Amino acid sequence: MATSTFIKKWNNKPLQDCGSYVSEEYNKFQNAFKREMTKIANNIGANLVSFSKGHYDVSGFIERNGKFVYFSYSSALSRNGRSTPTLTYQQSTYPTMLCRTAKNNKDYRGGTNNSVWFENCENVIDKLLNTEHKASF
């Protein structure tokens, strides 16, 4: 399960928007997200093999025994010019993270999308790494 310290620190925390570039505050969130995904991968005997930072999103691939899972997380900007990460089901109606199987760490099409809460992503990623990976078209 995702570390509660990460969730406690970042869940629903308004992060400053700097317009055309990622704010320093959001960059700190992205770095913490990467550290957390590395921990999650390690917890399930896998490796974080790539991680990308976008304007207000992150994505990457986790690998175990030649099987890959793609994940993506985006926090929407609110009207007050702030990004507010929503990580748990207690804060929002809809899951905010996407996970799916992938052929490799370049397969952005992959398998079926799974919308999950961040706090449940470790279990979902572990299950996806245990499933038979089908080729994407």
What beta strand segments (E) does 65-106 contain? 67-74, 82-83, 97-102
* Per-domain residue ranges of the chain: 4-130
Q: Which two tokens stand for residue 136?
A: 């994407």
The string of pLDDT tens digits covering residues 21-58 is: 788 888 899 999 999 999 999 999 999 999 999 888 89
The string of pLDDT tens digits covering residues 99-111 is: 999 999 999 888 8
| Whole-angstrom distance, CA of residue 44 vs CA of residue 46 | 6
Instruction: Name residues whose C-beta falls within 8 Å of residue 112's C-beta, 6 or more positions apart in sequence.
Output: 100, 101
| Whole-angstrom distance, CA of residue 18 vs CA of residue 102 | 33
pLDDT at site 15: 81
Cβ 107 vs Cβ 136: under 8 Å = yes
Whole-prediction pTM value? 0.86
pLDDT at site 85: 76
